Amino acid sequence: QEDIFKKIVSHCKEYGFVFPSSEIYDGLGAVYDYGQYGSELKNNIKRYWWDAMTLLHSNVVGIDSAIFMHPKIWKASGHVDAFNDPLIDNKDSKKRYRADVLIEDYLAKIDEKIDKEVAKAAKRFGETFDEAMFRQTNPRILQYAAKREEVHSRFATALNENDLEALRQLILDCEIVCPISGTRNWTEVRQFNLMFATEMGSTADGAMKVYLRPETAQGIFVNFLNVQKTGRMKLPFGIAQIGKAFRNEIVARQFIFRMREFEQMEMQFFVRPGEELDWFEKWKRTRMSWHQALGFGAQKYRFHDHDKLAHYANAATDIEFEMPFGFKEVEGIHSRTDFDLKRHEEFSGKKMQYFDPELNRNYIPYVVETSIGLDRMFLSILSAAYTEETTDKGETRVVLKLPAPLAPVKLAVLPLVKKDGLDDKAREILTDLRFDFSCQYDEKDSIGRRYRRQDAIGTPYCITIDHQTMEDGTVTLRDRDSMSQERITIDSIRNIVGENVSM
Which positions lie near ligand ATP, rule CB under 6 A?
A: 215, 247, 249, 258-259, 262, 264, 329-332, 371-373, 375-376
For the CB of residue 208, give the shortest distance to ligand ATP in the complex, in Å. 25
Whole-number Å distance between alpha carbons of 251 and 186: 17
Q: State the alpha helices, DSSP H only, in 161-298.
A: 164-173, 217-221, 224-230, 276-292
Whole-number Å distance between alpha carbons of 444 and 285: 47
Closest CB to ligand ATP among 207 and 310? 310
**What 3-state DSSP class applies to 55?**
coil
For the CB of residue 53, give the shortest distance to ligand ATP in the complex, in Å. 15
For the CB of residue 321, give the shortest distance to ligand ATP in the complex, in Å. 10
Whole-number Å distance between alpha carbons of 435 and 89: 55
Closest CB to ligand ATP among 313 and 412? 313
Closest CB to ligand ATP among 330 and 341? 330
For the CB of residue 33, give the shortest distance to ligand ATP in the complex, in Å. 15
Closest CB to ligand ATP among 18 and 372? 372
Closest CB to ligand ATP among 335 and 440? 335
Closest CB to ligand ATP among 328 and 425? 328
Nearest to 294 by CA among 24, 11, 41: 41
**What 3-state DSSP class applies to 222?**
coil
Altogether, the residues listed in the chain come to a count of: 503
Closest CB to ligand ATP among 193 and 264? 264
Q: State the alpha helices, DSSP H only, in 273-329.
A: 276-292
CB 371 within 8 A of CB 332: yes
Burial class (CB in 10 A: 0-12, 13-18, 19+), 444: exposed
For the CB of residue 149, give the shortest distance to ligand ATP in the complex, in Å. 23
Q: How far is CA 77 from CA 226, 273, 348, in A?
A: 19, 20, 12
Q: Give me the residues paired with residue 97 across strands.
A: 88
For the CB of residue 449, give the shortest distance to ligand ATP in the complex, in Å. 35
For the CB of residue 467, give the shortest distance to ligand ATP in the complex, in Å. 51
CB 425 within 8 A of CB 490: no
For the CB of residue 192, give the shortest distance to ligand ATP in the complex, in Å. 14
For the CB of residue 379, give the shortest distance to ligand ATP in the complex, in Å. 9
Number of C-beta neighbours around residue 389 at 10 A: 13
For the CB of residue 209, give the shortest distance to ligand ATP in the complex, in Å. 22
**Which residue in the shown chain puts its C-beta closest to ligand ATP?**
373
Whole-number Å distance between alpha carbons of 489 and 315: 55
* Rg (the chain; Cα; Å): 27
For the CB of residue 488, give the shortest distance to ligand ATP in the complex, in Å. 41
CB 493 within 8 A of CB 436: no
Closest CB to ligand ATP among 89 and 329? 329
Identity of residue 321:
F
Strand duo 386-390 + 301-305: pairing: unpaired
DSSP string, 417-440: SS-TTHHHHHHHHHHHHTTTS-EE
Whole-number Å distance between alpha carbons of 249 and 216: 17
Nearest to 49 by CA among 261, 240, 245: 240
Closest CB to ligand ATP among 332 and 415? 332
Closest CB to ligand ATP among 15 and 246? 246
Closest CB to ligand ATP among 52 and 259? 259
Strand duo 411-415 + 439-441: pairing: parallel
